[in-house]
Structure 1
Amino acid sequence: MIQRLFAERAAAIVAEDPGAIGLAAAGSWLSNELDEFSDLDLVLVTKHKVGGDKQRMMAWAQKFGALLSAFTGEHVGEPRLLICLYDDPLLHVDIKFLTLEEFAFRVEDPVILSDVFGQLDQSLRVTTAEWPGPGYQWIEDRFWVWIHYGLTKLGRGEYFEAIDFLSAIRNMVLGPLLLVSQGQLPRGVRKLEKHLPGSILQQLKGTLATHDRASILKAIHTCIEMYRDLRSNLFDSDIQLQTGTEKKVLEYYDEIAELPQKVNN
């Protein structure tokens, strides 16, 4: 498989470089789910800080193969990440650049590919990975405000914006909660098709809307129904429900539902 061949080549390069401590693999590699469409997620640990310095990050990436293009990951809040596309073979590779101290703080235990002096193994043995689960209170405090936002855009006739809103609700709320309900890590909407029972997947399809007022309104309603079901099954009594906000937003939903169809050219 091209991902493993690339990783083996990169590990050999890292093992010979005096500026490196080691290399590890994360993502699909950990669950043995690599296939022909998978990205390769690498963690490069260096003696001196490289993450955040694009020039030095690019220099490292160029050692690993025929680099076509790369950019840093500020858009996902991670300037230490370099998102790369290589040629021969064509492969997407994400490289996160960490120091040994930074390596200890992680969301999952990566597979070590190169660790000449055993420092990565030692770090994994004395520290614990912590995946940040969805904050139920964080979601509850925001969900109804978000629903109101989507309804206002629908009411104004901004259908593209409303459709984007639905995508955000799936990614930030429904997807993570659905994955948790199935005993999976809350990775947005990743691999929902694999993990969800058919009936729930069919219900989730109801949150997909076309550029049509009735379609969007129905999709928002489905989002509300699914969230309330998930909330009742997952949240414990410590979560403060925003019942007042919920009531007002549901009343506003009814108002929007009664508005006439806007004509959009």
Structure 2
Amino acid sequence: MLADLVAGAREDAERRKAERPLSVVEAAAAERAPALDALAALSPAARIKIIAEVKRASPSRGALAEIADPAALAVSYETGGASAISVLTEERRFRGSLADLEAVRAAVLIPVLRKEFISDPYQVFEARAAGADLVLLIVAALEQRELVSLHELITSLGMTALVEAHTADELSRALDTGAGLVGINARNLSTFELDRDLFGTLADRIPSGVIRVAESAVTSAADVAHYRAAGADVVLVGEALVTSDPVATLEEFLVV
């Protein structure tokens, strides 16, 4: 599944590149206001912080929500207390787009993450041109040389990389990039199986000074509390928010 998602995202990026060359996207990225400081926004605090996700669908669950107005949803997330917004831009299985990201960036004052299967520098420049402050890098989808190079590019453009791991080896590789923001995804992106306890088994390997993000398997305040007790500074939540009253759900989650 992961290989298919990465290949599809790369094909879509190549199509966009033919329509809008890299030089044009680089110029658009340079014209953007500087990226917001995501590390400051997500830094450890007395209470858990939340990255709230704009997510219409997923390969594992199919359609989740129409989200005709992603900007309005993002504003409700900000109102509800989210510290950052994640926007799925993958077109095929998640039904997202860069237009969603641009709309969200224009509507909120908190950092915005491009959630995509990144494997090409073109996609990083696209992210900055669309106003992203953070870019997801999935360790399992990249060779180490690619991972390091993309991380360096993201940093050079003033953005922050959220480097995502699913195993101890992947976590080691994530930390080797010097990442200040590391996610542990409970969902195996090859099989899409969930292991809510995975974060707790790996969190102690993340050194102090690196922000720890728990991803996936968050459906209730009890799940948030579970991750918090295991050492999470931040949780990334999508499905539970787009299928409920987002403000009320965020308020419930943020009391943890």
TM-score range, shorter chain: under 0.3
Over alpha carbons, which structure has the higher Rg?
1
User: Which is bigger in relative contact order (C-alpha 8 A, separation at least 6)?
Assistant: 2
Give the alignment's TM-score, normalised by structure 1. Answer: 0.25
TM-score (norm 2): 0.26
